[in-house]
Amino acid sequence: MKQSYLILIFIIPLFLISCGSEKREQDPELQKLYSELDRVIDRSHEYELLKEHRIDSLRTILASAAIDEDEKTNLINSLIDEFNAYNADSTLAYINMNLSRPQVREIPGQHTLLTIRRADVLGHAGLFLDALSAMEKIPKDSVKGEIMEAYYSTYCAIWQYLSEYANEHETATKYELKRSLYADSVRQVADLESFNHFVYVMAELARNGDPDTAIKALESNLAQYRSGMREYSIIASTLAYIYKTAGRTDDYKRFIVMSAISDTEGAVKENMSFREMATLMFEEGDVERANRYLKKSIADANFYSAMMRNAQSSKMLPVIDDAYSTVQKELNDRRKVMVWISGVLSFILLLTVVLLLVQFRSLRKAKDKVTAANHELSTLSDRLRIANEQMKKNNNELSELSEELKTANSELADKNLELSEYNRTKEQYAGLFMEYCSSAISSLQHYQQTLRILAFQGGNRATILKKLESTEMADQLLKNFYVRFDEAILNIYPSFVEKFNALLQPGQEITLKSGELLNRELRLFALIRLGIDDSGKIANFLRCSVATVYTYRSKMKKRAIRPECFEQDVRTIG
């Protein structure tokens, strides 16, 4: 623990030194845009190779002898578009090439448009006098129709470049006035949805105190283009300028970075975005980025041959370069301090390693003791495991015995239930038999008393014989017996009729008459349910012939759902 505290004492000062150059907190969205700009700058060579590939393809086609004059004019114009904002010398060369061709003069307005474009390139390159001279040589009668928009917007751009170049001189005011006049001319002739209207007229509207309208129009128009297009870069840069003059710093930063990203993706060498980015980064204290962006601005200006952009960037170079050198010196000083602290920390680390080795030896001895104790615990654990397994085996046996006992108890309970049911049935049968016997005895006594009275009253022999031959009493006894039998069966098996009918096919069920409990067929099968299977006994019971019993049994089987096991199903009725 002491060694850890000692290391922390030295690490904390090192951390504080490394964080000594604190940067101001930035908006996360801006930081993301800055990182995106750095990423596209790292890939700038890829974008330039793509442009060079397009240029080489156009040059190859132009060198072919198989093209006609109109196609040649279009190819040269395409090369002018590719070189525009990429290399001024090559742009001017191809413009001059088309201007010198008689076929171009035959196209109405083409020669004037090419001359205006030549003046625009000269203005971008910083050759302002040459640009103005080229514009002044354009015949006034050739400036008409759609050419007027390009004419006035080019004049507006040239005077704007002159105003920016002479920013610290009194002549800048004069240039700015002329720029404003030509911006008004653009407003009068340009279509409301044209690119020049948005760039020059909206910017002038913002200068005249209505930035909100200009911003709304420019942001709406920006959505029509994609990053990497020249139009996107210019509109984003114009928006950045308007936001800056309106005091909305974060929006200014956001759009100037978007313009720089677009310039890089489009391989635009004539740009002001990187000079603005260098100034912005310098003001925010990020000297390393400021130095990187400024050097790219100068390199792009040299590649394009833009003397004005080069001069503007060169003014800032000494300031940023000195600041960058100062930062590098501070970093070197900090590095020396860090090296010294690292040496001290290395010594402390070495000392800590020695102490740790001593502690490791002590820990190893303790580990050996722990290993021995663990071995003993493992032996005890094995014994305990064996005992647990034996106990588990015994528990399983007990569980099996318990299950067997439970099964036996269940079977015994079933047997007891059956026995109870059997005893109940016997009791009911006994009661029935006793009741019937008592009734029969009473009936016989009554019959005997009747005969006695008849004989006592001096009845003649014929009357007594007639009485003896009568079956009325026997029929009544039999009827009463069947009633008691029916009641006993339905008492023992309350749902006998319903369950019996359930064994028969649909439509073949037995229907009882009103007041009947059972009929002869049901009594026959009730006897079978009671275990009386012999047809002779059943015939005696029902006071019919054996043949009649066989007939009943055969017919009922035919009406059953399962004829083959019908009587067995009857025996199971509960």
In sequence order, the 6+-apart residues with CB closer than 8 A to the CB of 327 are 21, 287, 288
pLDDT tens readout for residues 280-322: 889 888 888 888 898 888 888 888 876 655 555 555 556 555 5
Indicate yes or no: pTM above 0.85.
no
Q: Are 268 and 233 in contact (CB under 8 A)?
A: yes
pLDDT tens readout for residues 107-146: 889 999 999 999 999 998 889 999 999 999 999 888 988 8
Distance CA 38, CA 31 (A): 11
pLDDT tens readout for residues 153-195: 999 999 988 888 776 667 788 888 999 999 999 999 999 999 9
66, 200, 498, 528 from 524: Cα distances, Å = 120, 119, 16, 7
The mean pLDDT of 556-567, rounded to a whole number, is 94
At residue 10, the pLDDT reads 47
Distance CA 160, CA 168 (A): 14
At residue 404, the pLDDT reads 80
At residue 21, the pLDDT reads 43
494-571 has CATH 1.10.10 classification? yes
At residue 106, the pLDDT reads 85
Would you kindly state where each structural domain of the chain is located, as residue ranges?
47-143, 151-190, 494-571
pLDDT category of residue 433 using cuts at 50, 70 and 90: low
| Through-space distance between the first and last CA atoms of the chain, rounded to whole angstroms | 87
pLDDT category of residue 18 using cuts at 50, 70 and 90: very low
Q: Is the pLDDT of residue 53 over 90?
A: yes
Backbone angles phi, psi at 560, to 5 degrees: -80, 155
Distance CA 298, CA 306 (A): 9
In sequence order, the 6+-apart residues with CB closer than 8 A to the CB of 528 are 538, 567, 570, 571
Of residues 260 and 364, more confidence is placed in 260
pLDDT tens readout for residues 482-522: 898 999 899 889 999 999 999 999 999 999 999 899 999 99
In sequence order, the 6+-apart residues with CB closer than 8 A to the CB of 219 are 239
Computed over every residue of the chain, the mean pLDDT equals 83
pLDDT tens readout for residues 216-264: 999 999 999 999 999 999 999 999 999 999 999 999 999 999 999 999 9
